[in-house]
A and B are shown apart, each in its own frame.
Chain A
Amino acid sequence: MFASLTDKFQTIFKKIKNKGKLNENDIKNCLHEIRIALLEADVNYKVVKEFIDSLHDKIQQEKISESLTPTQQIIKIVNGEITLTLGSKQNDLSISPAPPTIIMLVGLQGTGKTTTAVKLANYFRKKGNLPLLIATDIYRPAAIEQLQVLGEKSDLPVFSMERNENAVNIIKAAIKYSSKKNHDVLIIDTAGRLHIDDKLMNELQEIDENIPFQEKLLIVDAMAGQDAVNSAKVFCDKIKVSGIILTKLDGDTRGGVALSLKKVLGVPIKFIGIGEKVDNFEPFHPERMASRILGMGDVLTLIEKVETAYNEDELKKLDKKMKDHNFDLNDFYLQLKKMKNIGSVDQIMDMVPGFNNLKNRIDVAKLGDREGELKKIEAIISSMTVEERENPSIINGSRRKRISRGSGTQLSDINRLLKQFYQIKEMFKRGPKLKNFSFN
């Protein structure tokens, strides 16, 4: 995420770090390079201008040219400025005191509204709500079916009607339906539309006038260029958008849109979509994102993810097993599965300070196909007997052959798995105890 902008910033800071004291000219060059880096990252031209002016002022105020540790101070100022540009504090979705909470997703074509609708519904379900998805894209061929299929896959209910029904009527019928079924969050997927398409923008206004929305969220593709601000502005003008969800942040996007939207529109970014899976979806934290952009990692998000994956009891149990040397293949498989829930290897690396640099040197692709690998491991372990799982040392040649046949894998796969298992066991024997891993 934002890797190229991160790289640029690190190069810029490295350059001045080697200098010690900075003169006016150094600062001028540094600001120039930051400007180019931001423009290359698709930050809106006007936002860049303001950003640089503001940096310039702050650098003057802090008398950086007299400072003995100027780089640290500049990084601090830039970090603060980026956080400010991104929106300072995290913004939750507002929930209606009298259910249902009705949320509408709007945006240009192809920005990821339908995918996001399902992710958002999944997010609410995890929080204990009973969400209902509502399909109102009556224009694009097979759009309603797309939502239905996605909903079905994630076991989320979808409300839809005939194609020739208009959106307002569909939503009204859905509200009626939802009160019977106790749905407390309604998520409305709308048709993608151009901001200059008067007919469709009027439709949106009509929907807005007739339905009491708690949130109107604009879905924006993180890879969008300079025009993103223009189209978003029209959506905001027409229906008073209450928040933004940035999608497709799992590519090598430079994140300029993230830096532009809040500043220009005054509307906060509330969530980000970071993958094709339904739980690749996170609340947006400006200060953490600023830290990621500057290559300082995002340990907070990582810790939160570890916390969701493990509870304290489990950790204690695991720690005891390690101590008693009882860690077996069952535990091994469980741990692998949990790690996968935390994120893919490159997602995790993004969050660890300093790892961002490392990432470029490691072939992430090789680490990438962990899902297939995990399936294989699952097959292998489930082809073992209970005894073998608890005491892998008894797995001899003929047992290996049987397991290989049973799981449809190669002997070399089984050997590799066992080797990995012993390595990890060995590592835990010597390594730090888990209880030393503090959450707070």
Chain B
Amino acid sequence: MNIKNVFSQFKEGLYKSRIELANKLAFLFSDSKDKSDFLEKLEELLILSDLGTCATAEIMNEFQQINFREYKENNFIFFKEKLKATLIDILNSTASDIKINEDRLNIIMLVGVNGSGKTSVAGKIAYRLKNINKDIIMVPADTFRAAAIQQLKILADKVGAEMINTKEGADPASVVYDGISAARARKKNIVIIDTAGRLHTKTNLMNELEKIKRVIQKEANDCSLEILQTIDATMGQNAIAQAEFFNKSLGVTGIALTKMDGTAKGGIVIAIKKELDITVKLISCGEKLNNLYDFKADKFVEALLD
């Protein structure tokens, strides 16, 4: 897939927030009376992007020492570059793509709170892999929410992927067990598991997820396991707690940041990366099956500040 193309689409999705941000940046400088005024506005900008008070305070620290007059004379170019570098620095990490190993079973499991977009992302990942001729089995382990199984089935049919059958109320761990067995029997090496949305504070539901993971470890010990947590870009600071709890229970291997087609900035992933060191791997940005993009820190920040 052509990254450049992908990101131009992604940028289009960010179009509105970008305009808003660029305006704010210009405004920030032209209008600032003095340094403290400037810093207050910077704080407003960062807080409004959901970066949270901790990450904001740290970034603010870097700007405490600036020479305000110098910045002002250079218009906002100086500032933008510095802010960009600071944000990229926080987000930057090693390889963050989803890798498929040909020589073994690959299991991708989607987890997250209710309404964060697990089922949609499951469909989008399937679509992407199907497009490069991978053989997939989809596993509807959300046996709780009404019609969740049908929703995944419709997506699987659209994509042309196989989905194993189950019924509402079935034990999710046993559905996953069946999924792994089916993948083995039908010689397919990618399993995509959609799980039920759950609030991270519901201990019994988190235990259920841990049980699913144990089943995977037992039945497919040699598999490459990707546990992706979907985080809704419109979320506030609560998303940090979401990531923390899911990570503690399961060891999340990456985040899929969803609903980036709105006006929310998704700045929360900067706070999550800073506090928990969990990397964003995918960006979901639109209702179409192909609206799924690899996350690149520099592009993400650039698109945000451009």
Which residues of A does B touch, CB under 8 Å? 36, 39-42, 45, 108-112, 139-143, 145-150, 153, 194-196, 221, 223-228, 230-231, 248, 250-254, 256-257, 364-365, 368-369
In chain B, what residue has the closest Cβ to A111? B115
Known: A45-B47, A108-B262. A226 touches B236 (CB 8 A): yes
Known: A111-B115, A145-B146. A196 touches B263 (CB 8 A): yes
- Are A252 and B241 in touch, CB under 8 angstroms? yes
B264 at the interface (CB under 8 A from A): yes
Known: A142-B150, A143-B147. A225 touches B115 (CB 8 A): no
- Are B236 and A223 in touch, CB under 8 angstroms? yes
Known: A110-B115, A194-B261, A196-B263. A251 touches B147 (CB 8 A): no
| B49, B150, B200 — most chain A CB neighbours (10 Å) | B150
> Which residues of the partner chain A approach B116 to less than 8 Å between Cβ atoms?
110
- Are A224 and B237 in touch, CB under 8 angstroms? no
15 contacts between A and B (CB under 8 A): A36-B53, A45-B47, A110-B114, A110-B116, A141-B151, A141-B155, A142-B148, A149-B147, A153-B146, A195-B262, A196-B263, A221-B115, A223-B236, A250-B201, A252-B238
**Which residues 152-167 of B sit at the A interface, judged by CB distance below 8 A?**
153-155
A143 to B154 alpha-carbon distance, docked (Å): 11
- Are A223 and B47 in touch, CB under 8 angstroms? no
> Which residues of the partner chain B approach A36 to less than 8 Å between Cβ atoms?
53
B138 at the interface (CB under 8 A from A): no
A149 to B242 alpha-carbon distance, docked (Å): 28
A-B contact sample (14 more), CB < 8 A, given A40-B52, A42-B237, A108-B262: A41-B237, A108-B259, A112-B114, A145-B150, A146-B151, A196-B261, A196-B263, A221-B235, A224-B235, A226-B264, A227-B234, A248-B115, A248-B199, A256-B236
B273 at the interface (CB under 8 A from A): no
What's the least CB distance linking A356 to chain B, in Å?
15
Contact of A145 among B16, B147, B201, B234 (CB under 8 A): B147
A149 to B234 alpha-carbon distance, docked (Å): 28
- Main SS class of interface, B: loop
B48 at the interface (CB under 8 A from A): yes
- Are A110 and B232 in touch, CB under 8 angstroms? yes
A147 to B148 alpha-carbon distance, docked (Å): 11
- Are B146 and A150 in touch, CB under 8 angstroms? yes
A195 to B242 alpha-carbon distance, docked (Å): 25
B 199-218 binary contact with A (CB < 8 Å = 1; else 0) = 11111100000000000000
Chain B contact residues (Cβ within 8 angstroms of A): what range?
35 or more
**Which residues 162-207 of B sit at the A interface, judged by CB distance below 8 A?**
168, 199-204
B255 at the interface (CB under 8 A from A): no
- Are A227 and B264 in touch, CB under 8 angstroms? yes
B 257-282 binary contact with A (CB < 8 Å = 1; else 0) = 00101111100100000000000000
What's the least CB distance linking A249 to chain B, in Å?
10
A142 to B147 alpha-carbon distance, docked (Å): 6
> Which residues of the partner chain A approach B49 to less than 8 Å between Cβ atoms?
226
In chain B, what residue has the closest Cβ to A152? B146
Which residues of B does A touch, CB under 8 Å? 16, 44, 47-50, 52-53, 113-117, 145-148, 150-151, 153-155, 168, 199-204, 232, 234-239, 241-242, 259, 261-265, 268, 287
Known: A110-B232, A195-B263. A223 touches B204 (CB 8 A): no
Contact of A226 among B48, B202, B203, B232 (CB under 8 A): B48
> Which residues of the partner chain B approach A227 to less than 8 Å between Cβ atoms?
50, 234, 262-265
> Which residues of the partner chain B approach A230 to less than 8 Å between Cβ atoms?
263
> Which residues of the partner chain A approach B203 to less than 8 Å between Cβ atoms?
364-365, 368
In chain A, what residue has the closest Cβ to B206? A365
A108 to B151 alpha-carbon distance, docked (Å): 18
- Are A253 and B238 in touch, CB under 8 angstroms? yes
Known: A226-B50, A227-B50. A251 touches B238 (CB 8 A): yes
- Are A250 and B199 in touch, CB under 8 angstroms? yes
What's the least CB distance linking B38 to chain A, in Å?
16
Contact of A365 among B114, B204, B239 (CB under 8 A): B204
- Are A369 and B262 in touch, CB under 8 angstroms? no
What's the least CB distance linking B119 to chain A, in Å?
8
- Are A149 and B235 in touch, CB under 8 angstroms? no
What's the least CB distance linking B215 to chain A, in Å?
21
What's the least CB distance linking B40 to chain A, in Å?
10
Contact of A225 among B145, B155, B235, B242 (CB under 8 A): B235
What's the least CB distance linking B63 to chain A, in Å?
18
- Are B237 and A149 in touch, CB under 8 angstroms? no
In chain A, what residue has the closest Cβ to B261? A194
Known: A42-B238, A146-B145. A109 touches B151 (CB 8 A): no
> Which residues of the partner chain B approach A143 to less than 8 Å between Cβ atoms?
147, 151
- Are A251 and B199 in touch, CB under 8 angstroms? yes
> Which residues of the partner chain B approach A194 to less than 8 Å between Cβ atoms?
259, 261-262
- Are A40 and B53 in touch, CB under 8 angstroms? yes
- Are A225 and B236 in touch, CB under 8 angstroms? yes
A224 to B150 alpha-carbon distance, docked (Å): 28
In chain A, what residue has the closest Cβ to B199? A251
In chain A, what residue has the closest Cβ to B241? A252
> Which residues of the partner chain B approach A109 to less than 8 Å between Cβ atoms?
115, 117, 259
> Which residues of the partner chain B approach A254 to less than 8 Å between Cβ atoms?
236-238
What's the least CB distance linking B7 to chain A, in Å?
20
What's the least CB distance linking B146 to chain A, in Å?
4
